[in-house]
Homo-oligomer: A and B are copies of this chain.
Amino acid sequence: MADIRVWIVEDDPDWLRGLSGYLDSQPDLAVTFRAERPDAVREALAEGGADADVVLMDIMLQGVPAGIELAEEVSVATGARVIMLTSMEEKEFIFRSFQAGAIDYQIKSEYESLPGAIRAASARRAPISPEAAERMREEFRRLKKLEREFEVRKMRDLITPSELQLLELVDRGYSQSQIAERLVVSIRTVKNHINHVLKKLGLTGSKEAARIARDMGLFEREDGKGQG
């Protein structure tokens, strides 16, 4: 089987040389391209020299986090698996790297683990390094909570207060005429509200709509007090 072709983008010449030599010394890895500056990478991409299996990309290039944007370009253009290199573990960089399509985030000083990470990335069986994983888990939980809030918000924007009130009574099992009586409004008003809400949600059954609203927690009072 052919060697895994590795690109290295790293602005520190010493690191670039050292890393390149270290990886080339591995029996199954071949460094096929090295660059110190983003332009060099973009030129290589433009010339169609897209022979990378795995790309090692330093995040900080010439003092700015240019590696992140570059990672996205390389990933899209070549389909290669990108591993970000960094000297420190910085949350925001970790998140932005994964957003940009990177497959892992490795600390430079732990370069001994790089060959393993490269092999895993190449085989599409790449875990996320321990440092990055810790941050990812935290962020993931935060984002999932946010996602739920987002859904609830969209729902609240869609359903008016009186529609919601009706759904709650439907959910409690009241019939339309009972609801009309209870709220001292015409049965027509009830039918209209429910009809509106069903249209907006693209549903055909008020029971179903009520269930959804309940599952989303839309019936909870936001005045802080329970309903006794």
Residues of chain A having any CB pair with chain B under 8 Å = 95, 98-99, 101, 103, 120, 124-130, 133-134, 136-137, 139-141, 143-144, 146-147, 149-150, 153
Contact = CB atoms under 8 A, between A and B. Distances in A.
A126 B133 contact: yes
29 contacts: A95-B144, A98-B137, A98-B140, A98-B141, A98-B144, A99-B140, A99-B141, A99-B144, A101-B141, A120-B130, A125-B130, A126-B130, A127-B127, A127-B129, A127-B130, A127-B133, A128-B128, A128-B133, A128-B136, A128-B137, A140-B140, A140-B143, A143-B144, A143-B146, A143-B147, A146-B146, A146-B147, A146-B150, A149-B150
Contacts of A139: 140
Contacts of A133: 126-128
Nearest to A129: B127
Nearest to A140: B98
Q: Which residue among A99, A128, A130, A136 has the maximum number of chain B CB atoms within 10 Å of its CB?
A: A128
Contacts of A146: 143, 146-147, 150
A130 B99 CA distance: 18
Contacts of A137: 98, 103, 128
Given A146-B150, A147-B146, A150-B146, A136 B140 contact: yes
A147 to B, nearest CB: 6
Contacts of A150: 146, 149-150
A120 B127 CA distance: 13
Contacts of A103: 137
A91 to B, nearest CB: 13
Contacts of A149: 150
CB-CB nearest 5 A-B residue pairs: A143-B143, A125-B130, A127-B127, A128-B128, A128-B133
